[in-house]
Structure 1
Amino acid sequence: MEPIFPHEASGLPDFMLQQFEHGTGEYNHLQLYRILQAGIRQSTLPAGLKLPPTREMAQVLGIARNTVVQVYEQLVLEGLAQAGVGRGTYVKAMAPGFIGRARAAPARRANALSHRGDDLVQGARASPLQWGAFAPGVPEVRMFPAKVWSRLQAQAWREVEPAHLSYATGAGHPDAREAIAEYLQGTRGVVCSAEQVVITNGTQQALHLVAQLLADSGDTVWLEDPGYWGARSIFRNAGLVLQPVPLDAEGMAPTAQQQLSPPRLMFLSPSHQYPTGVLMSHGRRRQLLDYAARHHTWIVEDDYDSEFRFAARPLPALQGLDEQGRVLYLGTFSKTLFPSMRLAYLVLPRDLVDHFSRALNELFREGQTLQQVVLARFMREGHYARHIRRMRGVYAARRGALIEAIGQRLGQQLPVLGSDAGLHLVLGLPAELDDDAVAREALAAGVMTRPLSLYSLRKPVPARGLVLGYGAVTEQEVRASFDRLAQVLERFLR
Structure 2
Amino acid sequence: MDTVILSDWLAVRLDRAAAEPVYRQVLRLMQQAILTAQFPPGAKLPSSRTLATDLGIARNTVLHVYDQLTAEGYVISTTGSGTYVADTRPDSAAVSARRAAPGAVGPTATATGTGAVDATEATPARTARERRGLSSRGSRLIDKAGVSLKQWGAFMPGVPDVAEFPARTWSRLQARLWKEANPDLLTYAPGGGYRPLRRALSDYLRVARSVNCTPDQIIITTGIHQSIDLAVRLLTDVGDRAWVEEPCYWGARSVLQSSGLTLSPVPVDEEGLNPREQDLRNPPRLALVTPSHQYPLGMVMSLARRRTLLEYARQHGVWIIEDDYDSEFRYGSRPLASLQGLDEAGQVIYVGSLGKMLFPGLRIGYMIAPEHLVDTFRTGVAELYREGQLMQQAVLTEFIMDGYLTSHVRRMRALYGERRQILIDAITTHFGDTLPVMGDEAGLHLVLGLPDHANDREVVAAAYDAGVIVRPLTSYYSGEGPVRRGLLLGYACVPNEKIGPAFATLARIIEQTALRKPTRAA
| TM-score scaled by length of structure 1 | 0.92
Residue identity opposite 1:414 in structure 2: L
SS in 2 for 1:247: strand
- 1:36 aligned onto 2:57: no
Q: 1:70 aligns with which of 64, 85, 94?
A: 64
Displacement of 1:431? 1.1
Residue identity opposite 1:131 in structure 2: W
Aligned-partner Cα distance in 2 for 1:376–1:96: 56
- 1:348 aligned onto 2:369: yes
Q: 1:293 aligns with which of 305, 308, 314?
A: 314
Q: Retained in 1: the 8 A contact 2:202–2:215? A: yes
SS in 2 for 1:23: coil
Cα RMSD (Å): 2.2
Displacement of 1:98? 7.8
Displacement of 1:47? 2.8
The aligned residue for residue 424 of structure 2 is: 403
The aligned residue for residue 420 of structure 1 is: 441
Residue identity opposite 2:311 in structure 1: D
Question: Which stretch of structure 1 is more off in the superposition, 42-51 or 346-355?
Answer: 42-51
Displacement of 1:437? 1.0
The aligned residue for residue 327 of structure 2 is: 306
The 5 Å alignment of 1:238-387 reads: 238-387=259-408
Question: Which stretch of structure 1 is more off in the superposition, 398-407 or 245-254?
Answer: 245-254
Aligned-partner Cα distance in 1 for 2:320–2:241: 12
Aligned-partner Cα distance in 2 for 1:33–1:421: 61
- Judged with a 3 Å threshold, the aligned counterparts in structure 2 of structure 1 residues 292 and 69 are, in CA distance, closer, same or farther, namely same
Q: Retained in 2: the 8 A contact 1:29–1:67? A: yes
Displacement of 1:108? 7.4
Displacement of 1:269? 0.9
Provide structure 2 residue ranges, at least 5 long, that are not aligned to the other structure: 93-106, 108-127, 517-522
Q: Retained in 2: the 8 A contact 1:299–1:327? A: yes
SS in 2 for 1:315: coil
The aligned residue for residue 102 of structure 1 is: none
SS in 2 for 1:91: strand
Provide structure 1 residue ranges, at least 5 long, that are not aligned to the other structure: 100-105
Q: 2:47 aligns with which of 40, 43, 52?
A: 52
- Judged with a 3 Å threshold, the aligned counterparts in structure 2 of structure 1 residues 57 and 88 are, in CA distance, closer, same or farther, namely farther
- Judged with a 3 Å threshold, the aligned counterparts in structure 2 of structure 1 residues 65 and 389 are, in CA distance, closer, same or farther, namely same
Q: Retained in 2: the 8 A contact 1:12–1:52? A: no
Displacement of 1:24? 5.0
Aligned-partner Cα distance in 2 for 1:262–1:211: 16
Aligned-partner Cα distance in 1 for 2:12–2:497: 65
Q: Retained in 2: the 8 A contact 1:171–1:197? A: yes
Identical positions, percent: 45
SS in 2 for 1:477: helix
Residue identity opposite 2:273 in structure 1: M
The aligned residue for residue 103 of structure 1 is: none
- Cα distance per residue 1:196-216 (max 9 Å; x no partner): 000101111111111111111
Aligned-partner Cα distance in 2 for 1:13–1:418: 72
Aligned-partner Cα distance in 2 for 1:168–1:355: 16
Q: Retained in 1: the 8 A contact 2:420–2:440? A: no
Aligned length: 480
Displacement of 1:68? 1.7
SS in 2 for 1:180: helix
Aligned-partner Cα distance in 2 for 1:401–1:346: 34
The aligned residue for residue 436 of structure 1 is: 457
Displacement of 1:266? 1.1
Aligned-partner Cα distance in 1 for 2:45–2:247: 72
Displacement of 1:247? 1.1
